[in-house]
Structure 1
Amino acid sequence: MKTSTDAAMEVCQAFMDDDRPHTETGLYAEQIRNRAFQMNDTGGPPDLSYYNLIQDGGSSASIALDSTVSLNYVLTHTLRLDVRGVGSGGRAGFSNEGWWGIRISPDETYNASFWAKSNNYTGPLNVSIESTSGSVLASAVVKGISSNFTKYSVQLTPKVSNTTTDNIFAITTSSQEANGASIWFDVISLFPPTYKNRPNGLRADIAQIVQNTAPSIFRFPGGNNLEGQTIEQRWKWNETVGPIELRPGRLGDWGYANTDGQGLLEYLEMCEDIGMEPILAVWAGYALNHDSVPQDQLGPYVQDTLNELEYVMGNTSTTYGVMRARDGHPEPFQIKWIEIGNDYFFSSTYNYRYQAWYDAIKAAYPKISIIATASQTARPFNVIDNHYYNNGPQMTGDFDLYDNYPRNGTTVFVGEFGTNINGCCGSSSADVQAAISDATFITGLERNSDVVEFIAYAPSFTRDGQSQWNPDLIGFNTKQVWGTPSYHVMQMWSTHRSDTILRVDASNGGFNPLYWVAGQKNATKEIFVKVANYGNATQTVSFNVRGAKVTKGVATTLTGNPTAINSAQAPNNVIPTNSTFNIRGDRFKFTFPALSASVLALSP
C-alpha cells in the first residue's frame, strides 16, 4: 500500500445522536425517581412508586398521593405525609430509592431540594442520605416549613470511602409537634456534582465519556423522540424550558415517562459545554401513528417552530429571547443547521409539510442550512439525513456507498447508523464483529467526506438491564459507565481527525478484507491511516509513504473475539491498545490483526 499527498477534502464530523435517549435514568443527573408525580413509569396515572414510609421508634404515620392539593397548575399531584404520632427518639417520614439505588461517592456534595407546606406544622424536617442497612451517611435540617408551598434546599456531604449505590434519600420529622399534622411535598430532587457544575445538569461521568470522543455535532431532541406516538404526544419545546416545577413531562416514544428535566436549554448547554455544534431537529407535522397535520392546518405548528428558534437565537429584545434570558442564558445560541422532522420517508405528506417549514425558516433565518429527512420535490435542501441499520456484511458492503454519489452542491448527514449483526432492528449484540463492521462503514464515509458532512451513531445510550434497543454506543448503570467496542472505534476515528484526505495507491489489489482511508492534520503534519480488517486472518502490509516526512508512528488497535462485548461486569473487556514503531526512509510494515480496527498516527 502506498500513500501520496495530492488530494484534499474536509473530513466529516462526528458523532452523537439522541435517538432513544434513556436520559431520564442516566445522562440527566437527577437521582430521585418519580420526583414530581407526573405519571407512572409507563405513562399511566401517577402513583407513589419508589417511595417508602418511614415510622421508626414507635412513630405512626402514612403517606398518600393527593390530587386535592397541588403545587401549581402544571403539577397537580403531591405526596401527603400524615403524622399520627412521633415516638420519643423516633421519626416519621418517607424515603425514595432512586434509580436502582442512589449513587454516593467520596468527597462529593449533593444538592437536595423539595417543595413543602403544612397547615398545622411549622417545625423542622430532617433531610438525609442513608444506606439501605440504616446508616446515616449525611444529614441536614430544614428549620421550619410554611403554610404556603415553599422550595427548601440543603447540601449533603456523605462521609464514605467507596462509591456505593445501595442508598436511599429520606425526609423525616423527629418533632412531636408534628403529631396530627399533614405535610405535602412535591418536586423532590437530589443532584450529585454535575458536569461543568451546571444546575439541573448532566451526570459527570456519562458526559465525560461523551467528551472523551471529541464529538463535533449533536442532533437533538432525537429522532423518534421528537415525533410523538400521536400529534398531541409530540416533543413540545415550550414544555421543556423554565423551572422544572413548571414542566409537565410526557410519555416518551419508547414507552417510559420523561420528566423533561433535560429540556431544550439543557441540550443546548450540553452542546456548549462539550464543544458540539447543535443540530436542532424541529417537529414538522407528523407522528409515529402516521397521522399528518392537514396542509390547511399547519400554521400554528409552523409558528411554534419559529417561536422555538427565537427562544434559541433571539436577542433579549425579542419575546422568546427574554424567556431564554429568564431561564439563565442571556446570550443567544448560534444554530447553523436545522433538520425538518425525522424519518419522514415513512410519510406520504412530506412535500407539503417540508415546504411550509422550509419557507418559514428561510424567511426568518436565510443563512441557516436545512437538513431534509427524506427525498422531496417541493423545496431544495442543503443536506439530506440518511439512516442505516444493517447487518455486518451489508454494512461492510456499503463501504463504497457514496463513491459515486452526485457532487451537486448538497451533502449528506448519516444521522443514524449502527451495525445490527442479526439484522435490523434493535436485537443484536454490541460486539467486536459489529464494531469492525462499523469501522469499515465509517472508513468509507470518511473517504467521501466531501459529500458526507456529518455522521452520528445511534442510539447513543442504554441503561444496563433496561435496553429497548441493542446495539448502543454507551452503556451505564447507577454506578458506572462504559463504552461498547463500537464506542471505542468511534473514539479512535474521531480523535484522529484529518483536515485533508490523501490518495492511497494499493499495489496488491483493492479493498476486502482490508478497508482504509488516509488523511493529514495540517497543523501538525501528522498522517492518520485508518484501517479495518474485516477478515479472519492477520494482514501484513508494506507502506511506502512517498513524499511524507514522517519518522515515527503510534498504532491504536481494537480487536477481539467476534462475539466479545463490554459490560458492567467487564467494562474493559474490549479496549484499544497502543504500540509504537519507527519509520526508516519512506517505508515500514505493519501487521493488522484479524477482525480489527486500527489507526496509525504517523508524525515527523
Structure 2
Amino acid sequence: MAPIRPRLVLALAAALVGTVLAAPTRADDTPVAEPADYTLAVHPEREGPAIDPTMYGVFFEDINNAADGGLYAELVRNRSFEFSPVDNAAYTPLTGWRTTAHGGATGTVRTVDDADRLNERNRTYLRLDLSGHGAPGSGYGVVNSGHGSGVAVRAGARYDFSVWARTDQRRGTRLTARLRDADGAPLSAPLTATVRGDRWTRYSGTLTAGATTSGARLAVTAEGGGVLRLDMVSLFPRDTYKGRRNGLRKDLAEKIAALEPGFLRFPGGCLVNTGSHQAYEAPTWERERSYQWKDTIGPVEQRAVNANFWGYHQSYGLGYYEYFQFAEDIGAMPLPVVPALVTGCGQNQATDDPALLRRHIQDTLDLIEFANGPVTSTWGRKRAEMGHPKPFGLTHLAVGNEENLPDAYFERFRQFRAAIEAEHPGVTVVGNSGPDDTGATFDRLWELNRQAGVALVDEHYYNSPQWFLENNERYDSYDRRGPKVFLGEYASRDNRFANALSEAAFMTGLERNADVVKLASYAPLLADTHENQWRPDMIWFDSTRSWGSTSYEVQKLFMNNTGDRVVPSRASGTPQLSAPITGAVGLSTWATAAAYDDVRVTAEDGTVLLGDDFSAGDGRWTRAAGRGTWSVRDGAFVQSDQAAQDTLVTAGDPAWRDYDLRVKATKQAGSEGFLVAFGVRDTGNHYWWNLGGWNNTRSAVEKTVDGGKQTLVENATTVETGRTYDLHVQVRGRQVTLYLDGVRWGGFTDDSRAEPFRQVVTRDAATGELIVKVVNAQEAPARTRIDLGAEPASRTARVTTLQGAPDAVNTAEDRPVRPVESTLTGVARTFTHTFPAHSVTFLRIATR
C-alpha cells in the first residue's frame, strides 16, 4: 500500500471534525512542501576505502588582504614605508601615515631611498627634519591609521611597540609613541626612548590600551631639532596565537585551527607563479616577482617586499618560517607550492633560461633542507637560528599552480621532480591539471601526469551550485591505478547557504572516492570585508571581528567528523523531469570591440522569431547600465569599449525553445572574440558560445547558473581581427549543436542530473560509531527509511544539523546557519528519519 500523504491526513481530519484546515505553513506564511520519500541502505559487512587523516585541509593565499591586516597580527599599515604605485596606483610610501604636531613643534617629513637605508631589502625609510621649535615636551612626527577602520585595541591589553631609528643629534633625540583615538585624544600612557647615534638601532617597549576601539591610531613623535630617521614602525598585540612573536591574529588562527585541518597548503595560488622569476638583486630589484621562499625568512627587517598579484602590497612578515610554524601548531601537514617558471592565472608565459631554472630547482632543494635538514646543514641552521632546531617534517611539495601551457609546464616539472627525488626520495612531488575542471589543458596535463607516474595531481575549479549538485559522481570513474587527486582549490561561486549545500553534496562524493581523492581544500580561506578581490570565502573578518561563512560551517562539520573508512551505502534518487532548454538570445563581448549583424532566430518549423539587420536601430535589444558601449554603426550593432567585460544585451522571449540562432560577427579590436548567448533567462542564467576567450587562446560553451559558470564543451579555436564569421547555434530539447562558417564546431547534451539528496556513511574507529551524513538541498523534507544493516548498540544517536534558507548568509551580526546539536531516539536496525529541507545532517550511531 502506498504511504498516506500528510495533506491527505489533514483533509480527512478536517472532514471528521467539520473544520477546514490549512496546509502546513512556515512562520512567514509560505507553505511547507510535502516530504519526499527516500531509502538509505548501509552495508556494514562490506569494506569501503580508507580515509586518510589528511583528507581535508586548508589553503592559505594572500588574497583579500588575508596576510597583512589579516592573519599576520601586525597592526601598523605600511610599517616600513615600502608601499608603492607598483603595488597599487593609489599607493605612495606614506600611505597609511599623516603628519602630526603638538606644543608648537614643526618640521618636514619625506621618504627616502638612499645609502642611509636600513638594509638593501628594506630600502625606503622616513626622514624627519625637526625644526627645534616648540615648547618643552612638544613633538613633531607621524600617525598611522592601521588597517581597515583603524588600529584595533582592547582595554587593558598590551601591545609591543618597536622602531628602528637613528639621529644626527649628539645628545640624542627624544622619541615618544602613544595610542590615540581618531580625534587625537590619548588611549595609552606615552612610551618614551632616547634615540642615540647615527646608526640604525632598534628601540622597543609596551603600550597598554586604556579603552576598546577599532579606530585607534599610533602616533610617533620626536622632540627637538636635527634629522631623525625611522623605519619598521611596528605594533603587535602581545596576545597572538600561541603567544608567538611576529605571530598570528588569534581569533583568525583559532577559527582555522577549529577546522582540525589535515594539511596547510601555502602560499598560493596565483602568487606563486605570476610575475618575474628573477632573484632579488639590488639595485635593480623588481617589485613584481613571483613568490620566492628565501625572500620571506630571517629577521623581518631584512626580508624583501613585493607587489601582490591581487593589487596591493605584501610585506613578507608572514613568511615560510611562520607558515611551517602555524602548520605545526594546528597539527597540519605543510604543503608548500613553488613556481615552475611557467606563469599561470591568465599570463601564459614560459621562461626559457636554463640558468634561472637551475637556480629555482636548487632553491627548492634548499627549501626542503630548511624544513627537514639537521642544524648542521646550511639551511637547517637558518631554521634553528629562527628558533626551531627540530625539523618541520615536510613530506609533500607542489610544483606550479594553474599553468595553462601544459607541455612547457610539464617539461620543467620533470626536472624539478627528478632533482627532488634524487636528493629527498621521501618527499612527494605534486603536479597539477591547470585552471579548470575540464578541457584541453586539463586533459593534456592529466595525460602527462599519468604517463610520468606522478603520485598526486592538483585540480582546481570554481563553479555554480548546479555544477556541484550535478557532479557528485565525478571521481567514481577515475582510474584507481593512476595518480591520486589533490583537490587544492574549489568552491561554489557565492557565500549563500545554497552554495554551501551544493558543496556539502559534492563532498559526500569526495569521501565515497577517498581511494582516489586524497586531499581537498576549499578556497579562498580568508577575506577582509573592507577590501577583497574574490568571493566566495570561508572566513570573513574586519579589524575586530571574524566569522565563518555558511561554507565554513559545512567544511568544519565534515572536517571534524570525517571518520577513518567509508562504509558502503546506497540511497534512492529524486525523480527529475528533463525540460528543454528555454530562453532568449544575447550578444556580448569581453575586453573586445566587436560588431554583430544579421541576427536571425527561427523556430524548428521555420517560423521567424527574430530578424534584425539593425537598419531600424537597436530597439529590440535590452541592455543593462554599465555593460559596455553599444550603438548601431554602419548597419551593425557595435560594442566599442575594449575595457568592458560581460557586456551582455538580450532580445527575444525567455520561453523560446527548439530554435536556430544565426548571427554574423566581426572582431574590431581587443584581446578576445565573441560571446553569443542562448537559453537566456537573465544576465546570471544563460549559455554562451565564447569564441576566442581566455585572451584568444581557446573557445568554449559556458553555462551560467546564478552567476556561476561551468564549461560544457571547448576546443582551441581562435578569432582573427577584421574577419566576419557566420555563427549558428541550433537548440533542440537539451541538445545543442554549433556551426562556425557552415562547419560543425561542436555540440553537447545538457542532461546532467542536479541530485539534491546525497549521502555517505563512514566509520569512526576511535568511537566505533557510524557517521551517517545526509545533504538535502531542496525545498521538500526528505522522509528517509534507513536500514543500518545491523542492530545498533544504542537506541539513540547524536545529531548535528545545519539548516537555513537557501539565501541565508552568515555575517558579523547574524549567523543564521550554525550547527545545532540534538539527540535522536528510536534508532534501530531499520528506522525512519525526516531530514529537514535545505539541511546537512550528521547522525553518529553507536555500533556493536
Q: TM-score, normalised by structure 1?
A: 0.93
Question: How many Å separate the matches in 1 of 2:548 and 2:166?
Answer: 44
AA paired with 1:582? Answer: T
How many Å apart are 1:344 and its aligned residue?
Answer: 2.4
Do 2:492 and 2:499's aligned partners in 1 also have CA atoms closer than 8 Å? yes
Q: Which residue of 1 aligns with 2:389?
A: 330
Do 2:166 and 2:201's aligned partners in 1 also have CA atoms closer than 8 Å? yes
Q: Which runs of 5+ in 1 are unaligned?
A: 421-428
Q: Which residue of 1 aligns with 2:300?
A: 244
The alignment status of 1:65 with 2:107, answered yes or no, reads no
Question: How many Å separate the matches in 2 of 1:445 and 1:591?
Answer: 24
Q: Which residue of 1 aligns with 2:172?
A: 122
The alignment status of 1:18 with 2:60, answered yes or no, reads yes
How many Å apart are 1:46 and its aligned residue?
Answer: 4.7
Corresponding residue to 1:181 among 216, 226, 249: 226
AA paired with 2:118? Answer: L
Q: Which residue of 1 aligns with 2:712?
A: none
**What value does the CA root-mean-square deviation take over the aligned residues?**
2.0
Question: How many Å separate the matches in 1 of 2:353 and 2:453?
Answer: 19
Instruction: Show the 5 A alignment for 1:73-152.
Output: 73-84=120-131, 85-88=133-136, 90-100=138-148, 101-120=150-169, 122-147=172-197, 148-152=199-203
Q: Which runs of 5+ in 2 are unaligned?
A: 1-39, 279-288, 434-444, 576-753
Return 287-296 or 401-410, whichever deviates more. Answer: 287-296
SS at structure 1 position matched to 2:420 = helix
Q: Which residue of 1 aligns with 2:415?
A: 356
Question: How many Å separate the matches in 2 of 1:284 and 1:239?
Answer: 17
AA paired with 1:66? Answer: V
SS at structure 1 position matched to 2:407 = coil
How many Å apart are 1:483 and its aligned residue?
Answer: 0.6
Q: Which residue of 1 aligns with 2:568?
A: 503
SS at structure 1 position matched to 2:511 = helix
Instruction: Show the 5 A alignment for 1:202-213.
Output: 202-213=248-259
How many Å apart are 1:295 and its aligned residue?
Answer: 6.7
How many Å apart are 1:168 and its aligned residue?
Answer: 0.4
Q: Which residue of 2 aligns with 1:476?
A: 541
Identity %: 30
Do 1:58 and 1:88's aligned partners in 2 also have CA atoms closer than 8 Å? no
Question: How many Å separate the matches in 1 of 2:510 and 2:770?
Answer: 18
Q: Which residue of 2 aligns with 1:442?
A: 507
The alignment status of 1:293 with 2:351, answered yes or no, reads yes
How many Å apart are 1:409 and its aligned residue?
Answer: 5.3
Instruction: Show the 5 A alignment for 1:541-560.
Output: 541-547=784-790, 548-560=792-804
Corresponding residue to 1:7 among 35, 47, 67: 47
Cα distance per residue 1:89-139 (max 9 Å; x no partner):
533222101002111123421111110111115143221112223332223
Cα distance per residue 1:440-462 (max 9 Å; x no partner):
11111011111110100011111
AA paired with 1:551? Answer: R
SS at structure 2 position matched to 1:386 = strand
How many Å apart are 1:328 and its aligned residue?
Answer: 1.8
Question: How many Å separate the matches in 1 of 2:482 and 2:337?
Answer: 22
Cα distance per residue 1:171-221 (max 9 Å; x no partner):
123x4xx1x222110001111121001111110000001011111111111
AA paired with 1:414? Answer: L
Do 2:549 and 2:810's aligned partners in 1 also have CA atoms closer than 8 Å? yes
Question: How many Å separate the matches in 1 of 2:777 and 2:86?
Answer: 41
Larger Rg: 2
Q: Which residue of 1 aligns with 2:99?
A: 53
AA paired with 1:39? Answer: F
Corresponding residue to 1:307 among 346, 366, 372: 366
Do 2:167 and 2:173's aligned partners in 1 also have CA atoms closer than 8 Å? no
Do 1:430 and 1:471's aligned partners in 2 also have CA atoms closer than 8 Å? yes
How many Å apart are 1:60 and its aligned residue?
Answer: 1.8
Q: Which residue of 1 aligns with 2:623?
A: none
Return 51-60 or 485-494, whichever deviates more. Answer: 51-60
AA paired with 2:337? Answer: A
How many Å apart are 1:514 and its aligned residue?
Answer: 1.0
Corresponding residue to 2:76 among 28, 32, 38: 32
Corresponding residue to 2:333 among 241, 258, 277: 277
Do 2:165 and 2:200's aligned partners in 1 also have CA atoms closer than 8 Å? yes
Do 2:781 and 2:835's aligned partners in 1 also have CA atoms closer than 8 Å? yes
Cα distance per residue 1:9-45 (max 9 Å; x no partner):
2225112112354212201111100111223375268
Question: How many Å separate the matches in 2 of 1:77 and 1:505?
Answer: 64
Cα distance per residue 1:39-71 (max 9 Å; x no partner):
337526852111121111322233211223311
Question: How many Å separate the matches in 2 of 1:566 and 1:381?
Answer: 40
Cα distance per residue 1:408-454 (max 9 Å; x no partner):
0531111110011xxxxxxxx31111100110111110111111101
AA paired with 1:336? Answer: T
Do 1:86 and 1:92's aligned partners in 2 also have CA atoms closer than 8 Å? no
Question: How many Å separate the matches in 2 of 1:507 and 1:79?
Answer: 69
The alignment status of 1:567 with 2:811, answered yes or no, reads yes
Cα distance per residue 1:210-256 (max 9 Å; x no partner):
01111111111112111123334111111100011111211111111
The structure where strand makes up a greater share of residues is 2
SS at structure 1 position matched to 2:371 = helix
AA paired with 1:366? Answer: P
SS at structure 2 position matched to 1:113 = strand
Do 1:11 and 1:449's aligned partners in 2 also have CA atoms closer than 8 Å? yes
Return 513-522 or 594-603, whichever deviates more. Answer: 594-603
Question: How many Å separate the matches in 1 of 2:424 and 2:245?
Answer: 31
* Bigger relative contact order, structure 1 or 2 (CA pairs below 8 A, ≥6 apart): 1
How many Å apart are 1:560 and its aligned residue?
Answer: 1.8
Q: Which residue of 2 aligns with 1:425?
A: none
Q: Which residue of 2 aligns with 1:514?
A: 757
How many Å apart are 1:584 and its aligned residue?
Answer: 4.1
Q: 1:309 to 1:442 in 2, by over 3 A?
A: same
The alignment status of 1:455 with 2:520, answered yes or no, reads yes
SS at structure 1 position matched to 2:472 = helix
Cα distance per residue 1:459-493 (max 9 Å; x no partner):
11111031211111111111111111001000011
How many Å apart are 1:83 and its aligned residue?
Answer: 2.1
AA paired with 1:526? Answer: E
The alignment status of 1:417 with 2:490, answered yes or no, reads yes
Instruction: Show the 5 A alignment for 1:147-166.
Output: 147=197, 148-160=199-211, 163-166=212-215
Number of corresponding residues? 589
Cα distance per residue 1:344-379 (max 9 Å; x no partner):
244430221011001000001112212111322573
Do 1:501 and 1:520's aligned partners in 2 also have CA atoms closer than 8 Å? yes
Return 359-368 or 137-146, whichever deviates more. Answer: 137-146
Do 1:94 and 1:172's aligned partners in 2 also have CA atoms closer than 8 Å? yes
Q: Which residue of 2 aligns with 1:485?
A: 550
The alignment status of 1:602 with 2:848, answered yes or no, reads no
